[in-house]
Chain A
Amino acid sequence: MKSWLTTTDHKRIGLLYFWTAFAFFLIGGLEALIIRAQLVRPEGIGVSAETFNQLFTMHGTTMVFLALMPLSAAFFNFIIPLQIGARDVAFPRLNAFSYWVFLLGGLFLNASFVAGPLFGAGQLSVAPDAGWFGYANLTSRQFSPGPNVDFWLLGLQILGIASLAAGFNFVVTILNMRAPGMRMLRLPPFTWMTLITQFLVITAFPVITVALVLLMFDRFFGTHFFLPSGGGDPILWQHLFWMFGHPEVYILILPAMGIVSEVLPTFSRKPLFGYTVVVYSGVVIAFLGWSVWAHHMFASGLGPIADSVFAGTTMLIAIPTGVKIFNWIGTLWGGQIRFTTALLFAVGFIAMFIIGGLSGVTHASAPTDLQQTDTYYVVAHIHYVLFGGTILGLFAGMYYWWPKMTGRLLSERLGKVHFWLTLIGMNLAFFPMHLSGLLGMPRRIYTYSPDLGVAGFNLVSTIGAFLVGIATLVFFWNLLRTRWQPVNAPANPWNGATLEWAIPSPPPVYNFTVIPTVANRLPLWQTERHGPMAPLPERPPAPIHVPGGSWWPMITAVGLPIMAIGALSHFLPVVLAGAVVAIVGIYGWAFEPFEM
C-alpha cells in the first residue's frame, strides 16, 4: 500500500491513471445512460430539469477531463518511457504529483453530487449545472447562486495544474530521455503525437486558467469581467474558453491518432505508410488547432471578416486530417492483416472519425453552422469524434498494450463481442442525433414535446446508448478476467516493432537491462534494409539504481483541494491551511535527496 502511495515509477503511475480514469469513465457513462433514459420518449419525467442540467454538465466535464485525457495519460505514463528506451520520465516525482492532483481534482468535482446537505440543500442539487463550457452569464452569481459553478471552476483549476505539470514533464521526457540513436524521426508515432499533444497542453491550459481566475473573481469578489451590468462582455468568456477548448479537442484526439498509427502497422505487418507525413500533419493539425477557436462562436455574431477567416482555417484542418486518414488506409493496403480486437478498434476509429470529421466540416461553414448550433447535430458530431474517434482509439490501445502493462492477455473472443456491440451501439446512439438535431431538437433540454417529431430517433439513440453500456461492461469483465483467469503474455505477443516489445511483459521495475542503442525506426523488425536488433540480456549486467518513493508529491497535491474547499465554503483559514500544506510539500520535495 505505502509503495503505491509513494510510487514514482512511471509504470505504476500509468496503472493508477488507468484505473482511476476508467472509474470516472464508468461514472460519466452512467450519467449518459440516465440522460438517455430520460429522453427515451417525449415528456419523460424520470429526473427534474435541475438534475438533468447537472447530469449533462458532469457527463461532459467528466468525460473530457476525468476520462479521456487521463486514459491517454495512462498510456503516456506507461508506454512513452518504454518506447523511447528510458528508465523513467524526466521528473518522476512531478509525475506522481500530476496523478495525485488529477485524482483529488476528480474526487472534488464528483463530491458535488453528495455535498448538497453541507450547503443546506438536498442531494444531487449542488453539482455543476452550467454545461461543460460554462458560458457566461449562466455562471454568474446572480443566475447560479449556489456552489454548483464553484465546484466546477475550482475543480477544473485543480485539474489544469495536473495537466500542465504532466505537460512539462513529457515534453522534456520525450526530447531529453531518448535512448542513444533514437533520433526525432525514429520516434514511434504514438510518442510523436504525445509530444505534440503536450505542446498544446502547455500553451492552451494557461488560457483556461486565466478564464477561470476571472470567473472566480466575478463569483467570489464581485467583479464584472463577464457581466454586462458592469460593462463586461460575456463573449470574452467564449473567446477565452474556446481558445483553450479547441486545442483541447486536439489534445483529446491526437493521442488516439498516435495509438492507431501503432496498431495498424503491427497488425498489417507493414511500416506506417508515410511516417514523416503523418508526423508533420500532426504538427500542422496542432498549429491550425490554435487558429480556429471562433468557429464555436459563429452564432455570437463575429462579423463577416472573422466568420470568413475562421471558416477558412477550419476547413484547412481537414487537409492534414485527411492526409492522415489516407496514410492509415495506405498502411492497411496490401498488408498481411490480422483481425485482432485492437485492429478492429483501430479500423473502427478510422471509419467513425471520418463521419465525425465530415460533420465537423459542415459546421465550418458559418451559415450552415447557424442551423446546427445548440442542436443535437452538434451532439452527434462531438460524439463521433470523441467516442468514435478518441474512445475507439483508446480501446485499440488497451487491447494492444494491456499485455505489456499487466503481463496478461485480454480475451479476443470477449474483445470481439465488445467491439461489435460498441460499434453498433454507438452508431444507433449517435447517428439519429444528426437527424433529430436537423429537425430542430435543441441540445440540453430535459424533455421534449411529441409534436417535435423526434420521438423515434430518440428511442433509437437510447437503445444504442444502452448497447454501448453493455459493451463497456463486457470490456470491464474482460479486464477483471485477466486477474482471475490469467493468460500470461509473452514479451512481444503481437510482433510489434517498437522498443516496448523488447522487454518482458510486464516490464521489470528498471525497464531495460541495458539501455538499447537504436539504429532505425522499426528496431524489432526484419525489413529489407535491416535485421532485428539483438535481444537485450535477460539480467542487468550491472546493478541498476531505482529511485525510492516520495511522500512529498502527494502531500503537495493534498494542499490544493483543501484550498478549494476553503474557497467553496468562503472560509479563509482553510484556504491558508491548504496553502501551508502545499508549501510544506514543496519545501519537503525540494530538499529531499532523490537520486535518479
Chain B
Amino acid sequence: MAHDTHAATHHHTSMGLDSRKMAFWAFIGSECLLFGSLISTYLVYKGRSLVGPYPHEILNIPFTSFSTFDLLMSSLAMVLALAAVQRGDMKQGKLWLLVTALLGLVFLGGQFWEFSHFVHEGLGLTTNLFGSTFYVLTGTHGAHVTIGVIWLLTLWVQALRGKLGPANAMTVEITGLYWHFVDVVWIVIFTVVYLIQ
C-alpha cells in the first residue's frame, strides 16, 4: 500500500505503464469472474426457494436506494480525493479520503441494519436458497467494502502523519480503482437482486 514499491513507478517498464496499476487492473478483471460466479449462483437459484420469505416480501427498495446513493457519492468523494492528492492539495485530499471512508461506513451500517432486519423477519442464512444466495453475494460485497474502508482509513492516517503526498498519487489512484470497482459491483447487485425481483 502506502510505500509499497513506489520505486517501481520511476522504473522503466516495457509498456510504459505502472506495474502496480497493471497488476491491479488484472486483479479487478479476476474479481469480475468472482462476482460473475456469485451472481450466476444467485440467478440460477432465483425462484427455487422451497419456503419463504421470498425476495418481494422482504427487500426494501427505498432503503437500498439510499445505500446505492450513498455508495455513488462515496465514489464521487474518491475521485475528488485523488484529484486533490494529484495536485498536491493535501488538505482537501485528507478531507475527501475521510469522507469516502465515512460514506463506506454508512453503507456498511446500512447493510448491518438490513441483515439484522431480515433475520428478524425470518430470513436466515439457511432459511432457503434465497437467503443463502442473498447473504453470500451481498456479504462478499460487504467484505470488499470493509477492506476498502480499512484501506482508505490507513491512507487517511498516513496523510495525517504527513506521509502521503503527490508522490504517492499512484497509491491513491489504485485505492480508488478498488473502491470504484466495489461501487460498480453494487450497481449490478442493486439491479439484479433488488430491482429485478
Chain A residues with CB under 8 Å of chain B are 90-91, 164, 167-169, 171-172, 175-180, 182, 202-207, 209-211, 213-214, 217, 221-225, 230-233, 236, 240, 243, 587, 589-596
Contacts and interface: CB of A to CB of B under 8 A. Distances in A.
Residue in B1, B4, B15 with the greatest tally of chain A CB atoms within 10 Å = B4
Contact of B22 (A175, A206, A209): A175
Given A164-B30, A203-B29, A590-B2, A210 B23 contact: no
12 contacts: A175-B14, A176-B13, A202-B26, A206-B33, A211-B37, A214-B136, A225-B129, A230-B50, A230-B126, A231-B128, A236-B45, A243-B37
Contacts of A233: 44-45
**Looking at chain B's contact residues, is the secondary structure mostly helix, strand, loop, or mixed?**
helix
B49 interface: yes
Contacts of B58: none
A171 B48 contact: no
B160 to A, nearest CB: 15
Nearest to B18: A176
A90 B19 contact: yes
B3 A206 contact: no
Given A90-B19, A171-B23, A221-B126, A210 B37 contact: yes
A168 B24 CA distance: 8
B34 interface: yes
Contacts of A211: 37
Nearest to B4: A590
A225 B132 contact: yes
B59 to A, nearest CB: 19
A149 B154 CA distance: 38
Interface string B6-48: 0110010111010100110011011101101110010011001
Contacts of B31: 206
Contacts, number: 124
B5 interface: yes
Interface residues of B, number: 40
A596 B5 contact: yes
A182 B27 CA distance: 25
A520 B60 CA distance: 63
Given A172-B26, A233-B45, A596-B7, 12 more contacts: A90-B19, A91-B23, A202-B26, A217-B136, A224-B132, A230-B132, A232-B129, A233-B44, A587-B154, A590-B4, A591-B1, A594-B5
A206 B44 contact: no
Given A210-B37, A590-B2, A171 B136 contact: no
B125 interface: yes
A87 to B, nearest CB: 10
B168 to A, nearest CB: 12
Contacts of A209: 34
Contacts of B11: 596
Contacts of A178: 14
Closest 6 CB pairs of A and B: A206-B34, A590-B1, A210-B37, A178-B14, A206-B33, A223-B132
B28 to A, nearest CB: 10
Given A217-B132, A224-B132, A231-B49, A590 B3 contact: yes
Residue in A167, A177, A206 with the greatest tally of chain B CB atoms within 10 Å = A206
Given A206-B33, A214-B41, A232-B45, A594 B4 contact: yes
A175 B129 contact: no
B126 A223 contact: yes
Contacts of B2: 590-591
Contacts of A180: 14
Contacts of B36: 206
Contacts of B15: 175-176
A409 to B, nearest CB: 33
Given A175-B14, A182-B14, A224-B126, A91 B34 contact: no
Contact of A168 (B7, B27, B49, B129): B27
A222 B27 contact: no
Contacts of A206: 30-31, 33-34, 36-37
Contacts of A164: 30
A168 B23 CA distance: 6
Contact of A213 (B27, B33, B129, B136): B136
